Amino acid sequence: MAILAKQSYESLTEDTAINLAKELNLFPEHASLSCSEIGDGNLNLVFKISDRITGTSVIIKQALPYAKVVGESWPLTIKRSTIEANALIKHGEYVPHLVPKVFAADEHLAVTVIEDLSHLEIARTGLINGAEYPNLSKDIGEYLAKTLFLTSDFALHPFEKKRLAAQFSNPELCKITEDLVFTDPFFNHDSNDYEPELAELVYELWKNTDLKVEAAKLKRSFVTEAESLLHGDLHTGSIFAGPTETKVIDPEFAFYGPIGFDVGQFIGNLLFQSIVRTGVKREKIHTHIKTTWDVFYSTFSELWESHNIEPFSKTEGVKEDFLQKVFKDTLGFAGCELIRRTIGLSHVKDLDGIEPKDQRILLKKRAIELGTALILNRSEWTSITDLIGRLEEDIS
């Protein structure tokens, strides 16, 4: 992988992005290149560089030294660019077909050069528009099992695992999750953002001591349990999908954390679609949810048999005990995702895009209630069938 000569940070423009592509020899020497910035400008610049003759293209992504959310901007480390590139490369060792290729990265410019995936669409957008993505859940189940098993203590020598855990220490981005997912939505905090019609339910939630005790446990798990190298932000907006392909992008929140967090964030984001859909379309989402867990479980189990270096792995019951713990965590983290995306700072279009308003408020209430139930009942619902059963009760 090409690494640029050390230089200091400066924001790229379309012209300097082309120069960078040339310097990196990403195209033939005399290629005529065009460039357009296609990012949303909140966190990163995203340049698409194309060869006018052959039509081949690459993406140059550059982290901005600040984040813009709801019009405000605050400083945000550009080190996240290095974390992202390293996580793509590390996960790419295990699931090269499910992550973009990384052609180059530069720490000082906070730049990652990756495969152009613009023939695919963002899974969230596609799902909202009714796309089916028949391989989505199978692919993500495989992605989760392989990246999470193979970076865990079950597969890595303890020295290598601890080296990676230190390398992927990611305090700044973890803090965003600690605040926006695990803390603010459970308190009357300025960062929250909910429609006035939800106020009563939100006040109840803030007074629900049992729920807060459980949310505190989940937060503690997030800040203390270094199980595997997580993606760290695996919602449906971090996935490119198409009729046959799936690519997981944007792992800038990667760090060593609890396995159930990645699984739970993905399932949590499918649950928004379960909430907003009806009939056969809803069943298709439930099939995706079940397939995600089933493929995760079976692939993880295969790796457990074939790649496990932990002597206790051969003891009857140890695998089941561990995967039960992951399932319980998954439900809890999915619950947190449902709540925070409904009443916290950062929303999802799955809910916010619903019209008319009455219907939207009704569905948002369901999201809060389902999130609460997932957090509170995660020890009782012991299989994915229990979860699907609970979802089907809702509709009947």
Residues of the shown chain interacting with a second copy in the complex, contacts defined by CB under 8 A: 153, 158-159, 161-163, 165-166, 169, 171-172, 174-175, 178, 183, 186-187, 209-210, 212-213, 215-217, 219-220, 223-227, 310-312, 315-318, 321-322
In a 3-state reduction of DSSP, which class is residue 187? coil
**What are the φ/ψ torsions at residue 121 (nearest 5 degrees)?**
-125, 160
In a 3-state reduction of DSSP, which class is residue 256? strand
Is 115 known as a binding-site position?
yes
Between β-strands 228-230 and 121-122, what pairing exists: parallel, antiparallel or unpaired? unpaired
Is 321 known as a binding-site position?
no
Residue 246 near residue 239 (C-beta atoms within 8 A): yes
Nearest distance, CB of residue 98 and a second copy, angstroms? 25
Is 23 known as a binding-site position?
no
Angle, alpha carbons 264-114-337 (nearest 5°): 15
Q: What are the Cα distances from residue 78, in Å, to 23, 45, 67, 108, 328?
A: 22, 12, 10, 9, 34
Q: 35: burial class by Cβ within 10 Å (0-12, 13-18, 19+)?
A: buried
Query: Residue written as tokens 């505190």?
Result: 216
On the question of a cis peptide bond just before residue 75, with omega within 30 degrees of 0, the verdict is no
Is 250 known as a binding-site position?
yes
Is 124 known as a binding-site position?
no
Is 233 known as a binding-site position?
yes
Q: Which is nearer to a second copy, 104 or 176 (CB)?
A: 176
Show Cβ contacts of residue 287 under 8 Å, excluding neighbours closer than 6 positions: 137
Nearest distance, CB of residue 57 and a second copy, angstroms? 38
Q: Which is nearer to a second copy, 219 or 365 (CB)?
A: 219
* Distance (Å, whole) CA 124 – CA 14: 28
Nearest distance, CB of residue 12 and a second copy, angstroms? 28
Is 277 known as a binding-site position?
no
On the question of a cis peptide bond just before residue 134, with omega within 30 degrees of 0, the verdict is no
Q: Which is nearer to a second copy, 161 or 286 (CB)?
A: 161
* Distance (Å, whole) CA 280 – CA 282: 5
Residue 147 near residue 261 (C-beta atoms within 8 A): no
Q: Which is nearer to a second copy, 153 or 197 (CB)?
A: 153
Residue 305 near residue 360 (C-beta atoms within 8 A): no
Q: Which is nearer to a second copy, 66 or 312 (CB)?
A: 312
Nearest distance, CB of residue 211 and a second copy, angstroms? 9
In a 3-state reduction of DSSP, which class is residue 390? helix
Nearest distance, CB of residue 325 and a second copy, angstroms? 8
Is 44 known as a binding-site position?
yes
Q: Which is nearer to a second copy, 41 or 171 (CB)?
A: 171
Nearest distance, CB of residue 174 and a second copy, angstroms? 7
Nearest distance, CB of residue 367 and a second copy, angstroms? 22
Q: Which is nearer to a second copy, 258 or 268 (CB)?
A: 258
Is 349 known as a binding-site position?
no
Which residues line the annotated binding site for ATP? Answer: 44, 61, 115-117, 250-252
Which residues line the annotated binding site? Answer: 44, 61, 115-117, 233, 250-252, 340
Which residues line the annotated binding site for substrate? Answer: 233, 340
